[in-house]
Structure formats: structure tokens, C-alpha cells
Chain A
């Protein structure tokens, strides 16, 4: 499977992905509702901080944190494990395998093709963030924002690759969706999605530092809110991309071995 052939087909795949993403308007609005958890957490935590700050987080800091969380989650989300699981079990993956394009790239492009629709939701929140928080609670260092761009790509890659690994496990198990549920449960605890990880006791924070979840959400959000200087940010970026490399290696292994087990059920 040549990379050149795959790259040449990417624009066409992206175009089709965008068309598919906008095909169902009602589904889109339901999906928007399902992504509002950070806004709910914002309401909760600002109420908690109404009398006194929690750590260094007063009400304005919580507002900035959760609006940033919402934006990061919108732009780095991935859900391909569900689709892969279905396609492997039903045999529909066969149709992807028949094309001279690496199927994992087609999943990636389909995921990224939903980005324009996600931006439609994320941009108004970003504008609100600027209007509510001004620039006072956001990082003002351009270098941090450059690192943030790389961290967003890394965050999406970890999320996407984790989905691929879990999706590929459907080659080996009858269904891998329960694993996805477990992954999501741990993600909610250790990613910074429901609360800033700074609020964890030090022991748990150390655990969070060694797990990949923080690099999916917490790290980019911390960069946006100016929680780190450049040296710490770079060091964390390195850790994040080591996770990306590790997950790429795992995906490559489970995919290649899994294909040998593919039964292409049905038809």
C-alpha cells in the first residue's frame, strides 16, 4: 500500500467525509448537545468557587478553564473505535480493504472531515471565551501558542490512535466496545475533562502525569490558560509525542496481526 497513492486520494476522501458529516442536520444538533459536559462542569465548579477559590481557581479561572476544555474536546475528539468495531464484526471492513488506499488513513480523513462542522460549534465558544475572560486568563506568550498547536495535533493523535487500537481489538475479541467504555471512564478521571488536574492530591497527580489521558485534554487546556512556562511546556510536549509514537507502534502491530485474523463475515 503506497503512501503516495494514499496521499493522492486524501482530498477526495476528505470531500466525501465533509459531505457525509453534513448529511444529517438533526443528528448534528443532537451530537452538539452531547458535547456540552464541560459547560455543565463549568456551572458546577463556579458554584463551588462562589464563596472562596478552589486552589488557584476562582470563578473566572474555572470559566476560562472549561471553555478551553470545550474547544479542545471539540477539535481533538475521535470516535472511530465504534465504527471499526462494527465494520470488523459485520465484515464491512472488506470494502475498505479492497481499495488501494490504507484503510487507517481513510478513517483518519473521515474523522478530520468532521472538523469544519466542529469548528462551527467551537468558534462561537472561543469568541465567548475572549469576551468573558478577555486575554487576562489566557497565555500571552506566542511560543506557548505555537506549542499549543503541536499539542492539539498530539492530543488528537493520542485520542485517534487509542480509538484505532481499541477498534483493532475487535479482530481478537468478539466485541471491543466494553474496552472503549473502560477507556472513557479512566479518560474522564485523568484527562482534566471534568476538573483541572491541579486539584488532585499530589499522589494522584503523579499517576495522571504518567498516563496518556492528560495529553489528550488537560495539557492543551493548561497551555491555553498559561499554566506552564516554555521549558515545562516543551518537556510535556515531548512526553505527549512519545505517547503518540508508542501508540503508533501499537496500532501498527495490532492492525497487521489483526488483518490475518479478519474473517470478513457476511456476503
Chain B
């Protein structure tokens, strides 16, 4: 459904030091640097897949989504979405895709969302019966009935995001690019949006590509993740595999009936935290079974849970490793 081969997007950016002198000098002489926003990434995504596209700020995630949705022309490389070359922006392509971003809106600011919906119906040539069915369904799932006729400017951020999603889905796109769709939303609204996106994918078999800094979005929605940093791909695979690879330890949280000696816990693994009757241990995944068996037999365990390390920590570690590898590579190139 989506393929990118050796995709690159480089920008020429005017660089100027701060200060009046530099400002005046820049009138006569400008220095440009090349920013490699995306620098040779390749991946394939099948129809109906949900893929998380992750990376730190400035990694090139949004740039890639913009290239895939036809907004940006790539500097080089080949991109196809359902057989279309996005930069050509053919009608058939634009009717199959939608880019939803938490920071840009398509809703008409001064008019109620219902007007945007009606305009999109006409623009995408959606048959009236399908439009009514879609609106009824979206209104119910996203609880929009009180929002449809209020001017968009008077809606809260969460209300607006729900209406943005509805407006984006009126033509039932086969490919949905979601760029930080839950940014700035409260926890319950994030959950509503996540559950709605998952349901849309399951109901229509739509392909989803999601960027988000909220790891809860990623954990809930995308079994596969593609990680990029400084425009280069650093991981493509299952989320569980990624966690296992980066952080092969599990977290074992224990509650005891009475106080347990710290020394006894340190025999089991790394002690992350401990207080009078509770402790959190970090244990290599291969040793989890034997450790739990030993703890249950030898310690006054009241309750026990096993968890993956927080995804935020996994990502942070992956990004720092990836940066270190890139810096080492650059240093080697420089030395050569």
C-alpha cells in the first residue's frame, strides 16, 4: 500500500547568527546550509496495517508524512501510495488519503463543523446516502451532536479534534496519516480518539501511519513501529521486539505481607525502588520465571505483577543509542 525507497528530502536553510551586525550583513551576503530532514529511508507498509512512525523532535517524521501525502516534493527517491506518486496529487490519490494533524486544521474557523462536513461531501463527491450514514455514525461514536452547529472557533481543543477527525473521514480514506492527533488533549479525550481510530481501521481496513510523542497512543494503536532519527531509519519491526531488544529487562512489582530485607531483593535483580512492604525490581526477561518462582517460595509475597519497562524509557534509550551511533559514524567519516 505504501512504499518508500531511499527517500530523501533536503532543504536549503538560511543561517544567520544573532545580533544587529549579522542582520545587516545578511542583507548583502547570505549563508545557506543543507538540512537533511529525511536522508535515505526505505520501508513498505501493507494494506490495513497500523504503523507508528516514531522519533525525537526534528527526526523527519512529519516531513515524511507530508511527502507521502503529496504536500512536499522529495529531493530524491521513490514514493508510492496505493500505486500513486503522491507529488502528482491526482484526484484519485487525494480521494484515498487524508492527513490529520493536531497542529493544523481543515475546519472552517468561523463556521460550524457541519458546514465543513457538507463542503467535504461536495468536494469528495460522496453520495448523499453514504454521507448521511457516515455522519450519523461519526456523531454517535465521537459524541458530536452538541458540537455540529457551534462555530468552530468556540469549540474546545478536544471538541475541535473530534470534529477534525470526523471531517477527515467523511470520504472514508483508505490511507490515514495521523500526525500527533492527540497533542494537547486530556487523558480521557486521548482514549476516545485512540479507540475511534482503531475502530475505523478495523471497520474499513484502512492503513494507518501515526506519529505521536504519547507512547500510550503507540502502545494502543500500532503493533509495528518505524523509528527514524536525524532523517535516518534506526528500527523497523514489531513494538514488542523493539522493547525486548532495547530493554531486555522486565519490571517485577512486589508487595509483601511484612518488611523484607533489601539484601534479599538485590540477590534477585536490580532494585529500582523499595519501601517497607513494596519493591520494584528490574530483571532480565530470561530470568523472570525462575525469579518469580524463587520469590513466591522464599519471600512473604502478597501481590506480584510483571510489566515491560515504560515505552518512554525504551524510546529515550533507543534515540540516545542511535545518536551515538550516528556521531561515531560521522567521526569515522571525518577521520577518513
Contact = CB atoms under 8 A, between A and B. Distances in A.
Contact of A100 (B73, B95, B106, B118): B95
B89 interface: yes
B27 interface: no
Contacts of A11: 122
Interface string A1-25: 1100100110111011001100110
Interface stretch (A77-85, A89-97, A124-132, A223-231): A89-97
Contact of B122 (A2, A8, A260): A8
Nearest to B112: A19
B11 A99 contact: no
Contacts of A24: 110
A250 to B, nearest CB: 21
Contact of B106 (A5, A9, A15, A95): A95
Contact of A8 (B66, B71, B104, B125): B125
Interface string A169-212: 00000000000000000000000000000000000000000000
B104 A94 contact: yes
A55 interface: no
21 contacts: A1-B89, A1-B91, A2-B91, A12-B119, A12-B123, A13-B119, A13-B123, A16-B111, A23-B111, A92-B104, A94-B66, A97-B89, A98-B69, A98-B106, A99-B120, A99-B124, A100-B124, A264-B72, A267-B103, A267-B179, A267-B180
B122 A94 contact: no
A173 B285 CA distance: 56
A91 B104 contact: yes
Interface of B: 11, 62, 66, 69-73, 89-91, 94-95, 97-99, 101-106, 108, 110-111, 115, 118-125, 179-180
Nearest to A106: B123
A71 to B, nearest CB: 28
A57 B91 CA distance: 55
Contact of A262 (B72, B90, B98, B115): B72
Instruction: Name the 5 nearest CB pairs between A and B, nearest first.
Output: A267-B103, A12-B122, A267-B104, A100-B94, A23-B110
Given A5-B91, A12-B123, A100-B91, A264 B71 contact: yes
Interface in A209-267: 259-260, 262-264, 266-267
B111 A19 contact: yes
Contact of B73 (A101, A259, A266): A259
Given A5-B91, A23-B110, A98 B179 contact: no
A207 B170 CA distance: 54
Interface of A: 1-2, 5, 8-9, 11-13, 15-16, 19-20, 23-24, 91-92, 94-95, 97-101, 259-260, 262-264, 266-267
B123 A99 contact: yes
Contacts of B11: 263
A98 B94 contact: yes
A16 B124 contact: no
A267 B91 contact: no
B71 A9 contact: no
Nearest to B103: A267
Given A100-B91, A267-B180, 8 more contacts: A2-B91, A5-B91, A19-B111, A94-B66, A98-B70, A98-B94, A98-B98, A264-B71
A16 B115 CA distance: 7
Nearest to B11: A263
A139 to B, nearest CB: 41
A19 B11 CA distance: 39
Contacts of B69: 98
A262 B72 CA distance: 7
A99 B238 CA distance: 33
A16 B66 contact: no
Q: Which of A94, A97, A101, A267 has the most CB of B within 10 A?
A: A267
A118 B11 CA distance: 43
A267 B104 CA distance: 6
A7 to B, nearest CB: 11
Nearest to B98: A98
B282 to A, nearest CB: 38
Tell which of B70, B122, B179 has the most Cβ of chain A within 10 Å.
B122
Contacts of B62: 267
B73 A260 contact: yes
B89 A267 contact: no
B110 A97 contact: no
A16 B179 CA distance: 27
Contacts of A262: 71-73
A82 to B, nearest CB: 16
Contacts of A13: 119, 122-123
B108 A16 contact: yes
Contacts of B124: 99-100
Contacts of A97: 70-71, 89
A10 to B, nearest CB: 9
Contact of A95 (B66, B70, B104, B115): B104
A100 B123 contact: yes
A23 B120 CA distance: 20
Contacts of A2: 91
